[in-house]
Structures are given as structure tokens and as C-alpha cells.
């Protein structure tokens, strides 16, 4: 989802680890890789902080030595990646990090009133999916929640075309379906998101798909949580089916 710097370092953490220089992948050993990821996610940090974060299960002395050795190798083997500072460890200001770009895109979604950033959010991959350190899990969960919040915001915005300048009814409903599908895939047991997806399908004219979505969600809730949808969701779906049973709706379906 990020653009590679034409001349410099690019750290990729979404979907898996990747470091590139001038668009060329660069292999990195495990310790420098973890150090670079930590700085990319937590920002500039003191050496004691990073030593404890990266080596929490060893003595302070050993963790400090590990960090010192890792910094030396990173500085010499990946020149220009880290900023030159004795007090804190940080990336060079010119380094591009895809997670930083994701945060900027999310802020843009929340601060504007349009439907920008849809593709990037829908296609965004999880943060370092094969890493299981506590600090990575915290950052992954935080980014996951931010993405879902943005997708939900875009869906609600697309379902309320009056809040958007010249949205185009068909285009707005298609955006609503895309963002709601992505949000529900991320949080499949969320009733509020399931309702949004059903509403998006109805707005797009796919009432049957909306009803099927409801049945799928109800089955999932029953199978995984042994509960039924709340009354509000049931009431919304009942309203749709009641409308479909009216003579005028049957005439429209029959082409009359």
C-alpha cells in the first residue's frame, strides 16, 4: 500500500517483513530486523528501553550487550538507515515505513468527508503476521482496530450520500459494500458491522444478498457463540422482508 522511495530505505511491515534500498530487497539477520521493526513501530527510543523491549528474558547487562552488538552491525551493514545519535535510537528521517503511511491514510479518512483511501484500507494486510512478541501483538491489534474503525466510517459515510459532495448513488453504494465486506472479514462477529453490510447490499439493490448475509451471520453467531442476533438487527431484516411481501413490491419484482 506504500510507495517505495526512489533513492533510499523503505521498511515494509504490513503482510510481512521487507527492507528495500532503492527498490531492491535487502536481506537482514533476525536481531537487526527486530530492532528496525521496534523503532519503526515505537519511534525513537532510548537504548535501555530497546534493550528491555527486545530481550526481556535476560539480564540487563546481557540485554545491553545484545543491543550494542546489534546496533554496531546494523550501522555498518545498513549505512544510512539509522540516525546518528548517542542518546536515542531512531531511523533516519528519510526512511519510508509503510505503517507510517497507513497511519497517515487513516488520519486522512477521519479528518476528511470524502471516500478517499478505500483501496488502501480494503487491501491493507496485517502487521508482521508471523511475529508473536508481545510488543508486536500490541501494535498489530492497535492497527487492526484503527483499520476497522476507518472502514466502518467509510461505510457509514457512503450510506449517507448527503454528507458527501456529488457522490453518485451507485458509486457510493458500491464503496459501502466493499468497505463493509472488508470490515466484516476483519471482525466477523460484530453485529453492528453485519448490519452495515446488510444495509450496504440493500442500498446497492441486492436485497437477496443482504438477506443471505443476515442468515450467514446468524448461523455464525449460533455456531461460535451460541447466541442469536439482537432485536435491532432482527427488526431491520423483518422490515425488509415485510416490504418485499407488499403487493407493490411483488409487482415490481414481476415487472408490472
Predicted confidence (pLDDT) per residue in 210-223, tens digit: 999 999 999 999 99
Domain ranges within the chain, ordered by starting residue: 9-96, 188-256
Residue 81 pLDDT: 96
pTM of the model: 0.88
Predicted confidence (pLDDT) per residue in 118-168, tens digit: 999 999 999 999 999 999 999 999 999 999 999 999 999 999 866 554 555
What nine digits make up the cell of 56?
A: 526481556
For 102-153, the three-class secondary structure string (H helix, E strand, C coil) is HHHHHHHHHHCCCCCCHHHHHHCCCECCCCCCHHHHHHHHHHHHHHHHHHHH
Residue 242 pLDDT: 86
Closest to 39 measured CA to CA, from 104, 83, 103: 83
Residue 4 pLDDT: 41
Please provide the CATH number assigned to the domain covering 9-96: 1.10.10.10
Closest to 66 measured CA to CA, from 16, 30, 27: 30
- Between β-strands 88-89 and 96-97, what pairing exists: parallel, antiparallel or unpaired? unpaired
Percent of the chain with pLDDT over 90: 81
* Beta carbons of 20 and 9 less than 8 angstroms apart: yes
* Beta carbons of 216 and 233 less than 8 angstroms apart: no
**H runs (alpha helix) in the chain:** 30-42, 47-54, 60-77, 98-111, 118-123, 134-158, 169-186, 191-203, 207-225, 231-244, 247-253
Predicted confidence (pLDDT) per residue in 36-93, tens digit: 999 999 999 999 999 999 999 999 999 999 999 999 999 999 999 999 787 899 999 9
Distance CA(11)–CA(3), nearest Å, equals 11
Q: What is the mean pLDDT of residues 105-121?
A: 92
- 7 pLDDT band, cuts 50/70/90, is low
What is the b/e burial string over 131-146, where b = at least 16 CB atoms within 10 angstroms of the residue's CB? beeebbeebbeebeeb
What nine digits make up the cell of 127?
A: 502487521
Q: What are phi and psi of 10, to 5 degrees?
A: -135, 120
Amino acid at each position: 500500500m506504500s510507495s517505495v522511495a526512489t533513492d533510499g530505505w523503505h521498511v515494509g511491515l504490513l503482510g510481512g517483513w521487507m527492507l528495500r534500498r532503492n527498490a531492491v530487497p535487502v536481506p537482514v539477520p533476525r536481531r537487526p530486523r527486530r530492532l528496525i521493526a521496534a523503532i519503526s513501530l515505537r519511534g525513537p527510543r532510548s537504548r535501555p528501553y530497546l534493550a528491555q523491549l527486545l530481550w526481556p528474558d535476560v539480564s540487563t547487562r546481557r540485554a545491553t550487550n545484545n543491543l550494542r552488538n546489534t546496533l554496531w552491525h546494523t550501522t555498518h551493514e545498513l549505512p544510512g538507515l539509522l540516525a546518528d545519535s548517542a542518546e536515542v535510537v531512531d531511523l533516519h528521517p528519510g526512511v519510508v515505513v509503510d505503517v507510517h503511511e497507513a497511519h497517515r491514510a487513516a488520519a486522512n479518512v477521519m479528518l476528511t468527508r470524502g471516500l478517499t483511501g478505500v483501496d488502501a484500507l480494503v487491501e491493507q494486510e496485517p502487521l508482521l503476521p508471523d511475529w508473536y512478541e508481545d510488543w508486536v501483538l500490541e501494535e498489530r491489534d492497535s492497527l487492526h482496530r484503527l483499520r476497522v474503525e476507518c472502514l466502518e466510517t467509510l461505510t457509514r459515510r457512503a450510506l449517507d450520500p448527503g454528507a458527501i459532495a456529488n457522490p453518485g448513488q451507485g458509486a457510493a453504494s458500491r464503496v459501502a459494500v466493499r468497505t463493509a465486506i472488508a470490515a466484516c472479514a476483519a471482525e466477523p462477529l460484530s453485529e453492528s458491522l453485519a448490519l452495515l453490510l446488510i444495509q450496504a447490499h440493500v442500498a446497492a439493490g441486492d436485497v437477496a444478498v443482504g438477506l443471505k448475509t443476515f442468515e450467514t451471520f446468524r448461523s455464525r453467531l449460533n455456531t461460535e457463540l451460541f447466541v442469536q442476533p439482537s432485536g435491532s438487527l432482527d427488526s431491520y431484516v423483518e422490515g425488509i422482508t415485510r416490504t418485499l411481501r407488499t403487493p407493490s413490491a411483488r409487482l415490481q419484482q414481476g415487472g408490472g
